[in-house]
Amino acid sequence: MPAITPRTLSGFMELLPAPQQQMERFMQVLRETYSLYGFTPLDTPLIESAEILLAKGGGETEKQIYRFTKGDADLALRFDLTVPLAKYVALHAGELSFPFRRYQIGKVYRGERAQRGRFREFYQADIDIIGDGKLDVSNEAEIPAVIYATFTRLGLERFQIRVNNRKVLNGFYAMQGLSERSGDIMRTVDKLDKIGPEKVRDLLIDDAALTNEQADEIMKFIAIQGSNAEVLAALEGYAGRNELFDMGLEELKTVTKYLAAFGVPETNFAVDLTIARGLDYYTGTVYETFMLDHPEIGSICSGGRYDNLAEYYTDRQLPGVGISIGVTRLFYVLQEQGMLNEGLNTAPAEVLILPMTEDLTAAVQAATFFRGCEIRTQLYTEQKKFKAKMGYADKLGIPFAAFLGEDEAAQNKISLKNMQTGEQQLLSLTDAANVILEDMRVRNNGKLIKS
């Protein structure tokens, strides 16, 4: 009797082999796309001193963090990739070149209440550009290009990057004499999608204690919609009354100006004055990204501009801009929605070699040849009935089976069976490799997400 019932902790994603292959593709697209935009990969420890991770403090974080001691050390698991980045840049600033552009894809930990689709261990995939003292606004203009390229390369088509600017918002609130209540207002406005404009207006009056006139001004402001040009034109109507607002409007115009040059179609991008981002540290452009057919999922890629990355660790002023994709949750949603492209090969190999003779030499040579052609190849050498062997290839979805009996070995050939069409050919190893390589090209030509 085994002593222990095997189990995986709830809230921890553990995929079966086929979906894991899809997840690997997801990661590979992220790595490639981020690299293409000049971000360098980084890998930092999952464990940090608790003092480092909790420097900023704050309620939710402290409650959710995995914290423990080892010997005298007070340790914790990272809950995001931003705090470790702040530590890294503060610690290694002298050895880095600024602007410092890094990507990091790694697991983070939050001991949330477990519920369907929520994870306690999940991958984040972040990019950030960190300046030393200054950072030009054109970096903020480049971020939508990275978001667009990432989701397009993944295969997603119907998504929209929504952009706003915190200076525009804060400047606007200042014009209304509401600077001190801007936090409350933004949190209320953030509920717009969920509760609708009327209830937002009620909350602004009841909870945020605005006058009817102030609430109307805000409702009018967030109702500004249309093409990017139209929204910017409407914003011009507020210009000249507040310096911060004017600065934010200039930034928003810069971000919008270069979109076409960055290859981002207008359909995938919108200036949206209702976007605020909850986090206090954003100071300029803010980004959210929505799947047009699944708005209920919320933003799948968010971030923004901040003025001081690492104030808890260094006196150096380190402004930056960054975005984050919650990979595990997004992958879960794509799976749930049936949006992953099943046409892509999720088998462990392209070809399964089945020796039909006791001596395996010819089969091993064939495997070595295929591998030399960069074809993922598995040798099947278990003593099973033929049907069981074919069932193995079938169940795993291996595209080809290659038989090697005495006849084939004598001719230095193999019998290659296409498992999907059932077609079987006697071929030289070179010809067989070409058939498999061509099939790979066609089969894996598609993108991860079905369009």
x-or-dash string of contact with a copy of itself, 315-354, rule CB under 8 A: x-------------------------------xxx-----
Does the footprint of a copy of itself cover residue 410 (CB under 8 A)?
A: no
- Tell me whether residue 77 or residue 189 sits nearer to a copy of itself (CB atom): 77
Structure tokens at 304: 């923004």
Instruction: Give the residue, chosen from 80, 107, 175, 443, that forms a contact with a copy of itself under the rule CB under 8 A.
Output: 107
Q: Is 97 left (phi over 0), alpha (psi -120 to 50) or beta?
A: beta
Tell me how far, at minimum, the Cβ of 202 lies from a copy of itself, in Å.
Answer: 38
Does the footprint of a copy of itself cover residue 24 (CB under 8 A)?
A: yes
x-or-dash string of contact with a copy of itself, 290-319, rule CB under 8 A: --------------------xxxxxx----
Structure tokens at 394: 């079938």
Instruction: Give the residue, chosen from 72, 97, 116, 410, that forms a contact with a copy of itself under the rule CB under 8 A.
Output: 97
Closest Cα partner for 340 from 24, 22, 116, 25? 22
Does the footprint of a copy of itself cover residue 21 (CB under 8 A)?
A: yes
User: Is the Cβ–Cβ distance between 121 and 326 less than 8 Å?
Assistant: no
Does the footprint of a copy of itself cover residue 128 (CB under 8 A)?
A: no
Does the footprint of a copy of itself cover residue 261 (CB under 8 A)?
A: yes
- Tell me whether residue 59 or residue 133 sits nearer to a copy of itself (CB atom): 133
Show contacts with a copy of itself in window 358-387 (CB under 8 A): 360-361, 364-365, 367-368, 371-372, 374-383
Does the footprint of a copy of itself cover residue 388 (CB under 8 A)?
A: no
**What is the rounded CA–CA span in Å between residue 342 and residue 377?**
20
- Tell me whether residue 16 or residue 442 sits nearer to a copy of itself (CB atom): 16
Does the footprint of a copy of itself cover residue 116 (CB under 8 A)?
A: no
Show contacts with a copy of itself in window 231-260 (CB under 8 A): 257-258
Does the footprint of a copy of itself cover residue 17 (CB under 8 A)?
A: yes
Does the footprint of a copy of itself cover residue 408 (CB under 8 A)?
A: no
Size of the site for a copy of itself (CB under 8 A): 107
**What is the rounded CA–CA span in Å between residue 400 and residue 412?**
18
**What is the rounded CA–CA span in Å between residue 250 and residue 269?**
18
Helix locations, 110-211, DSSP H:
138-154, 166-175, 182-189, 192-195, 197-206
Strands 159-165 and 302-306: unpaired
Show contacts with a copy of itself in window 180-239 (CB under 8 A): none
Longest dimension (CA), the chain: 92
117: Cβ contacts below 8 Å, ≥ 6 apart: 329, 332, 333, 336
Instruction: Give the residue, chosen from 138, 212, 425, 428, that forms a contact with a copy of itself under the rule CB under 8 A.
Output: 138
**What is the rounded CA–CA span in Å between residue 212 and residue 201?**
9
Show contacts with a copy of itself in window 37-76 (CB under 8 A): 37-49, 51-52, 55, 66-71, 73, 75
- Tell me whether residue 10 or residue 421 sits nearer to a copy of itself (CB atom): 10
Whether the bond into 355 is cis, omega within 30 of 0: no
Does the footprint of a copy of itself cover residue 145 (CB under 8 A)?
A: yes
Instruction: Give the residue, chosen from 26, 79, 81, 102, that forms a contact with a copy of itself under the rule CB under 8 A.
Output: 102
* DSSP H/E element including 48: strand 47-49
Does the footprint of a copy of itself cover residue 92 (CB under 8 A)?
A: yes
Q: What burial class does residue 263 get, using C-beta atoms within 10 Å of its C-beta: 0-12 exposed, 13-18 middle, 19+ buried?
A: exposed
Does the footprint of a copy of itself cover residue 87 (CB under 8 A)?
A: yes
User: Is the Cβ–Cβ distance between 287 and 161 less than 8 Å?
Assistant: yes
